[in-house]
Amino acid sequence: MVRNFKNLKIWNRSREFVKTLYNLTKDFPKEEQYGITSQLRRAAISIPSNIAEGCGRGTEKDLNRFLDYSIGSSCELETQLYVAFDLDFIDDKVMESMTDEVRQIRKMIIAYQRTLKT
């Protein structure tokens, strides 16, 4: 049972978030290119990637596992945003906006998981 991930709001919204994050991290210090910048980008990309991979698997159990990976990546990403804030790479307003969006995406993934269990 392969699902079309491109029709999922969570996939599209998390993809948009990746674009926003890439634009944000362009202004991070160059010496962080292989540090926090890379970590943030990889965690963000992991969210829609795991949603897509789960949809391409054959069972709901597999899909749920990959949705769990996406949730884990969202928690990792939120932590990394806090670190970027602590290092003064982002300000209060950006921090609030970005972490709020990560939390909203995570809530959407969890809600989608609930629909699979019913």
CATH of the domain at 48: 1.20.1440.60
Spatial CA neighbour of 69 closest among 81, 51, 57: 51
Whole-prediction pTM value?
0.94
Q: Is the CB of residue 76 less than 8 Å from the CB of residue 97?
A: no
Spatial CA neighbour of 71 closest among 22, 20, 112: 112
* Domain assignment of residue 103, given as a range: 30-117
Instruction: Please check whether residue 78 lies inside any domain of the structure.
Output: yes
pLDDT in tens, 60-117: 999 999 999 999 999 999 999 999 999 999 999 999 999 999 999 999 999 999 998 8
Percent of the chain at pLDDT above 90?
Answer: 92
Does pLDDT of 7 surpass 90? yes
103 assigned to some structural domain: yes
Residue 24 inside a domain? The answer is no
**For a pLDDT cut of 70, what percent of the chain falls above it?**
97
Number of compact structural domains in the chain:
1
